[in-house]
């Protein structure tokens, strides 16, 4: 623990730098000056006290691409459900520039709802004649609001934040290859390539290049690797410059659980972690996201909002602070289970589960042993109860945890899902290497 002693000539200003905890003391001196002697302790504990859990979703869609509702309606839904941040990541577009949509019979309900919620002062609509029907039907053209336009009616400091995002939507042959860019500053078109790895790498590289050129933290993450079983574990393990993927995606077509011939996203995660960490690479972190497209008609065939999210332990509700926390693994992914007090040291790795009545929680501590890397992703210890703790033995490459509750998930992407949480992996120091 470092200790700083600050002696500050007095003013009326209150000094309260972040990440520091004031321990003592105010002394007064006769006259118009007084001295403040403050002892600030900089420590992990004091940093902890300034952090909060923020709930958010980094992957969702609106009418700017193939979502079925207006970005204001989408944002309103998330804010009303208690989310703190949202990144609407439409396919190959930002919410920028002029875009009009035609309201036909499939979009009429959403249009009416939008108009009822936001009113004629806000909604920009032009009637047009439907020439295809012989000119006897009237349609509406609606201009989609840009992020710059709708952001001010939702954002509140410390309470709700919108983050600009794009789902770079590419493919190789028939395989869909999608990568999100969170906090993107300018549109990036899909970069293409001559193999799955090349397409993914070119898109990650373009996102990284924008991060470097703008100086803004922009986070790439690989979407739904099992959608169309487009990305094999071997391919995903070879991508450089991307440390995030979706261990859970709420879209009903993405095969989180794999099948007889394809690994689940959990198995895939352990394969990637093992391969990367054995080669001196960095940790791959796992996100849970909605990938919502359908904001009415809640059922397991639809891609509804509210299925998967992340809880980020950040110092402030800003894109910079959230991404900084994500990049050190200070978050967990959830489809319903809430956690607190996540901690790890050289000896232990544990956390607390916020219990719900009559729900049983089983925590799997998952490791790969250094001397048996071919058996990646072994459940070495299972615990039930509210305070699971794993004792690190030192022969692990990494440890991560998955909490599986007995509570069925409401409106699951796949029927039969139970609520879960994924705690991020930590690299275990190898005593033999020190």
Residue 170 or 291 having the CB closest to Zn ion: 291
Residue 164 or 223 having the CB closest to Zn ion: 223
Which of 242, 246, 291, 417 is close enough to bind Zn ion by CB under 5 A? 291
* Shortest CB 198 distance to Zn ion, Å: 19
Residue 107 or 250 having the CB closest to Zn ion: 250
* Shortest CB 171 distance to Zn ion, Å: 11
Rounded to the nearest 10 degrees, the angle between the axes of helix 147-154 and helix 71-80 is 30
Residue 266 or 291 having the CB closest to Zn ion: 291
Confirm or reject binding of residue 417 to Zn ion (CB under 5 A).
Answer: no
297's CB contacts (< 8 A; 6+ apart) are none
* Shortest CB 429 distance to Zn ion, Å: 37
* Shortest CB 127 distance to Zn ion, Å: 32
Confirm or reject binding of residue 376 to Zn ion (CB under 5 A).
Answer: no
Helix (H) or strand (E) holding 114: helix 108-118
- Residues 137-176 touching Zn ion, rule: CB under 5 A, are 167
Confirm or reject binding of residue 275 to Zn ion (CB under 5 A).
Answer: no
Confirm or reject binding of residue 402 to Zn ion (CB under 5 A).
Answer: no
- Residues 351-370 touching Zn ion, rule: CB under 5 A, are none
Q: What are phi and psi of 54, to 5 degrees?
A: -120, 130
Stretch that binds Zn ion, among 110-118, 136-144, 255-263, 291-299 (CB under 5 A): 291-299
Stretch that binds Zn ion, among 38-46, 65-73, 219-227, 402-410 (CB under 5 A): 219-227
Which of 95, 178, 211, 409 is close enough to bind Zn ion by CB under 5 A? 178
Residue 62 or 223 having the CB closest to Zn ion: 223
Residue 229 or 381 having the CB closest to Zn ion: 229
User: Closest CB to Zn ion belongs to which residue?
Assistant: 178
Closest C-alpha to 376, from 255, 214, 264, 239:
264
* Shortest CB 183 distance to Zn ion, Å: 17
Structure tokens at 260: 């007889």
Quote the CA–CA distance of 292 and 306 in Å, as a whole number.
Answer: 8
* Shortest CB 105 distance to Zn ion, Å: 25
* Shortest CB 43 distance to Zn ion, Å: 41
The beta-carbon contacts of 410-417 under 8 Å, at least 24 apart in sequence, are 410/336, 411/298, 411/299, 411/300, 411/304, 411/306, 411/307, 412/300, 412/307, 413/249, 413/250, 413/251, 413/252, 413/254, 413/256, 413/300, 413/303, 413/307, 414/252, 414/256, 414/257, 414/300, 415/300, 417/335
Quote the CA–CA distance of 20 and 38 in Å, as a whole number.
Answer: 11
- Residues 221-240 touching Zn ion, rule: CB under 5 A, are 223
Number of residues that bind Zn ion (CB under 5 A): 4
Stretch that binds Zn ion, among 107-115, 220-228, 232-240, 366-374 (CB under 5 A): 220-228
Length of the chain: 434
Give the torsion sign (CA, 32, 33, 34, 36): positive
Question: What is the distance, to the nearest Å, from the Cα of residue 113 to the centroid of all Cα atoms in its chain?
Answer: 28
SS3 180: strand
332's CB contacts (< 8 A; 6+ apart) are 310, 311, 339, 342, 421, 422, 423, 424
Give the interface with Zn ion as residue ranges (CB under 5 A). Answer: 167, 178, 223, 291
């Amino acid at each position: 623990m470092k200790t700083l002693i600050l002696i500050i000539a007095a003013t009326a200003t209150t000094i309260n730098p972040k990440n520091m905890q004031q321990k003592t003391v105010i002394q007064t001196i006769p006259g118009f000056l007084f001295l403040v002697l403050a002892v600030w302790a900089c420590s992990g504990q004091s940093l902890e006290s300034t952090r909060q859990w923020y709930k958010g979703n980094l992957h969702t869609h609106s009418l700017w691409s193939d979502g079925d509702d207006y970005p204001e309606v989408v944002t309103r839904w998330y804010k009303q459900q208690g989310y703190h941040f949202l990144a609407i990541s439409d396919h190959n577009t930002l919410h920028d520039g002029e875009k009009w949509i035609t309201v036909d019979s499939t979009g009429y309900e959403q249009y009416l709802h939008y108009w009822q919620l936001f009113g004629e002062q806000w909604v920009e609509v032009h009637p047009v004649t439907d020439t295809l029907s012989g000119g006897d039907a009237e349609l509406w053209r609606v201009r989609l609001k840009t992020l710059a336009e709708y952001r001010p009616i939702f954002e509140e400091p410390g309470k709700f934040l919108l983050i600009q995002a794009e789902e770079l939507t590419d493919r190789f042959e028939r395989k869909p290859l999608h990568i999100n860019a969170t906090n993107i500053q300018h549109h990036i078109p899909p970069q293409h390539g001559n193999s799955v790895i090349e397409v993914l790498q070119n898109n990650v590289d373009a996102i990284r290049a924008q991060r470097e050129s703008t100086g803004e933290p922009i986070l790439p993450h690989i979407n739904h690797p099992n959608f169309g079983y487009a990305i094999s574990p071997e391919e995903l393990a070879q991508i450089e410059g991307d440390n995030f993927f979706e261990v859970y995606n709420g879209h009903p077509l993405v095969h989180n659980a794999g099948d007889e011939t394809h690994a689940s996203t959990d198995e895939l995660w352990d394969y990637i972690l093992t391969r990367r960490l054995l080669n001196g690479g960095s940790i791959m972190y796992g996100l849970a996201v909605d990938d919502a497209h359908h904001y009415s008609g809640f059922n397991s065939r639809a891609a509804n909002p509210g299925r998967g999210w992340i809880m980020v332990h950040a110092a402030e509700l800003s894109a910079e602070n959230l991404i900084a926390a994500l990049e050190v693994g200070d978050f967990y992914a959830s489809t319903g289970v809430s956690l607190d007090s996540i901690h790890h040291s050289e000896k232990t790795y544990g956390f607390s589960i916020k219990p719900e009545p009559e729900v049983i929680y089983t925590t799997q501590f998952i490791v790969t042993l250094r001397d048996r890397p071919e058996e990646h992703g072994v459940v070495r210890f299972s615990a039930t109860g509210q305070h699971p703790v794993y004792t690190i033995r030192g022969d692990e490459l990494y440890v991560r945890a998955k909490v599986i509750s007995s509570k069925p998930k409401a409106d699951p992407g796949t029927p039969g899902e139970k609520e879960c949480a994924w705690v991020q992996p930590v690299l275990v120091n190898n005593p033999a290497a020190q």
